[in-house]
Amino acid sequence: MDLGITDRVAIVTGASSGIGYAIAKELISNNTKVLIAARGEDHLQAAEQTLGQLPGARVASIAVDVTNKDAAQRILDKTMDSFGAPDILVNNAGRAHAGGLLTSSEDDWEEMTAVKLTSMRRMCKAAVPFMQEKGWGRIVNMSSIGGIYPNPKLFISHVLSAAINNLTKSLALEVAADNILVNAIGVGAVKTDNWARNMIPFVRKNNPDLADLSDDDLIARISEKCTPVRRPGAPEDIATLAAYLCSARNNFVTGDTIEASGGADRFM
Ligand SMILES: NC(=O)c1ccc[n+]([C@@H]2O[C@H](COP(=O)([O-])OP(=O)(O)OC[C@H]3O[C@@H](n4cnc5c(N)ncnc54)[C@H](OP(=O)(O)O)[C@@H]3O)[C@@H](O)[C@H]2O)c1
């Protein structure tokens, strides 16, 4: 299916690995010009180099922490310099945080809010005026199924996911008449670096009976238990949906949080 986004300009935050990288790849494969952003320069440069080898690729990068106050402006400036004004924004930077209300700290709350929610608000605020000028725009915000089915052991992540779903709906209503469509993806368990760093220790702690299993066997066992399709998601599973939502093929879906979780209605 031709997504109709040839020569469109896209920004993907958190695109040096995992889901963001897969989305950048999918957009480039659909002839979109893509600016990728993340903090770690080495990973980012490696991602830019690999993506740059795709046929006809047009990709640029900026090393930036999206929690910094000037990050949105820096990302917009770099996009303008590289490719022109943005048509597509994918707010994907972030990670999971394991802990309940009683066991997470003030710093955890502030840091996670900054990376997941505040940065998203700032990025939307910076990019939307350009989309309004063009009379066309697509935004995808990375949320989690925990925004609808909260797991108290992932309290901060899931409260913020609910807020992302609400931000998405509210902005979608605000800009619908400008032909800017805004959606969120309620991601289920997808096997990425974030998972290895944040979720495996969490799952091990909550399933002491599975302590002897390797990481891969543990993921396989938990996926069979919690995910009706009986496997964890792959970044590409999310990228295909994100690319559709960002495309000219999507003309009527807006304000929605679409679950991509292999049928799961709980997060491990
Ligand atoms: N995988 C899952 O099961 C799952 C489930 C629900 C929701 N999600 C959400 O999906 C998104 C992508 O997750 P993933 O699993 O693909 O994780 P990942 O593989 O760890 O990728 C996260 C990306 O975000 C970047 N990033 C993190 N903090 C950043 C910051 N402050 N500023 C700029 N870039 C930052 C990382 O690069 P640097 O560290 O170098 O900055 C990396 O490029 C996240 O928002 C996550 O919360 C994932």
pLDDT of residue 87: 98
pLDDT tens per residue, range 229-241: 999 999 999 999 9
**Residue whose CA is at the smallest distance from ligand 1 atom 41:** 39
Catalogue the E-assigned strands of 99-219.
137-144, 180-187
pLDDT of residue 210: 85
Tell whether ligand 1 has an atom less than 6 A from the beta carbon of residue 17: yes
Distance CA 197, CA 105 (A): 19
Residue 158 has pLDDT above 80, yes or no: yes
Tell whether ligand 1 has an atom less than 6 A from the beta carbon of residue 66: yes
Tell whether ligand 1 has an atom less than 6 A from the beta carbon of residue 14: yes
Residue 129 has pLDDT above 90, yes or no: yes
Residue 267 has pLDDT above 80, yes or no: no
Percent of the chain with pLDDT over 90: 85
Tell whether ligand 1 has an atom less than 6 A from the beta carbon of residue 115: yes
pLDDT of residue 194: 82
Domain ranges of the chain: 9-190+233-258
Mapping DSSP to helix (H, G, I), strand (E, B) and coil, where does residue 60 land?
strand
Q: How many CB atoms lie within 10 A of CB 230?
A: 12
Q: Report the CATH superfamily, name and number, of domain 9-190+233-258.
A: NAD(P)-binding Rossmann-like Domain (3.40.50.720)
213 CA to centre of ligand 1 in angstroms: 25
> Among 123-137, 157-171, 182-196, which is the least confidently predicted range?
182-196
pLDDT of residue 254: 98
Among 39, 43, 149, 151, the mutation site with the greatest number of ligand 1 atoms within 8 A of its Cβ is 39
- Rounded mean pLDDT of 113-142? 98
- Which H or E run contains 68? none
Distance CA 204, CA 151 (A): 16
Catalogue the E-assigned strands of the chain.
9-13, 33-38, 59-63, 88-91, 137-144, 180-187, 257-260
pLDDT tens per residue, range 2-17: 999 999 999 999 999 9
pLDDT tens per residue, range 33-59: 999 999 999 999 999 999 999 999 999
Catalogue the E-assigned strands of 119-220.
137-144, 180-187
The pLDDT-based confidence of 176 (bands split at 50, 70, 90) is very high
pLDDT of residue 188: 95
**Residue whose CA is at the smallest distance from ligand 1 atom 44:** 94
Q: Give the number of the atom of ligand 1 that is nearest the alpha carbon of residue 238.
A: 10
pLDDT of residue 43: 97
**Residue whose CA is at the smallest distance from ligand 1 atom 34:** 38
pLDDT of residue 198: 77
pLDDT of residue 50: 98
Tokens of 212: 């002897």
Mapping DSSP to helix (H, G, I), strand (E, B) and coil, where does residue 138 land?
strand
pLDDT of residue 41: 98
pLDDT of residue 75: 98
- Over its C-alpha atoms, the chain yields an Rg (Å, rounded) of 18
The pLDDT-based confidence of 220 (bands split at 50, 70, 90) is confident
CA 17 remoteness from chain centre: 11
The pLDDT-based confidence of 202 (bands split at 50, 70, 90) is confident
236 CA to centre of ligand 1 in angstroms: 14
pLDDT tens per residue, range 69-113: 999 999 999 999 999 999 999 999 999 999 999 999 999 999 999
Q: In what order do the strands lie in the sheet with 180-187?
A: 59-63, 33-38, 9-13, 88-91, 137-144, 180-187, 257-260
